[in-house]
Amino acid sequence: MKSSRRKLAAVAAGVGIAPLVTVVLPATSAFAHGYVSSPPSRQAQCAQRVVQCGQIQWEPQSVEGPKGLKSCSGGNGRFSDLDDDSKAWRATSVGQSVTFNWTFTARHSTRNYEYFLNGKSLGVFKGQSSSHTVNLGGVTGRQKVLAVWNIADTGNAFYACVDLQVQ
């Protein structure tokens, strides 16, 4: 009899606590996957609170959209701050080549990585490497590179813009 009461009390306590745990625990994004962390992309700067940019500060890895876009936000209206060139984005000083490093919070099968400057391709990298060295083709001054991680088994890609000061 005591055993039955204890079991009933334990079940009742669990039922009472479960809703509280659901409310108190932080939610995680279902779209959390990857972004350029070095040099710091715009979403990395948002996450570090270098620039005020809304929701992206909590999920820099979530800039996902259909393949083939050329926007920093990946076409995601929630992250449109990333498309705003008038914000005080910090530019990293680099030479004529730069190595981009991706940080992943969830792995996907990779089709390739692409890098663009002024709409022109700087290179395509296949394989699972998360680090790519890109030649900037002789440009100088302030530049914005679009980095794209194309996923192999979906129609989506992850987008990141990186502001550079090219010497």
Over range 123-145, report the average pLDDT.
96
How many other CB atoms are there within 10 angstroms of residue 134's CB atom?
Answer: 20
State mean pLDDT over 83-95: 98
State the Cα–Cα distance between residues 54 and 132, nearest whole angstrom.
29
DSSP-derived secondary structure for 98-152: EEEEEEESS---EEEEEEEETTEEEEEE-SS-SEEEEE-TT--EEEEEEEEEEES
pLDDT (0 to 100) of residue 26 = 34
Rounded distance between C-alpha atoms, residue 70 and residue 30, angstroms: 23
What the chain holds in terms of domains, given with CATH numbers, is 34-166 (2.70.50.50)
Q: How confident is the model at residue 108 (pLDDT cuts 50, 70, 90)?
A: confident
- What's the pTM value of the predicted model, to 2 decimals? 0.80
pLDDT grade for 17, boundaries at 50, 70 and 90: very low
Buried residues in 56-90 as b, exposed as e (16+ CB within 10 A): bbebbbbbbbeeebebbbbbbeebebbbeeebebe
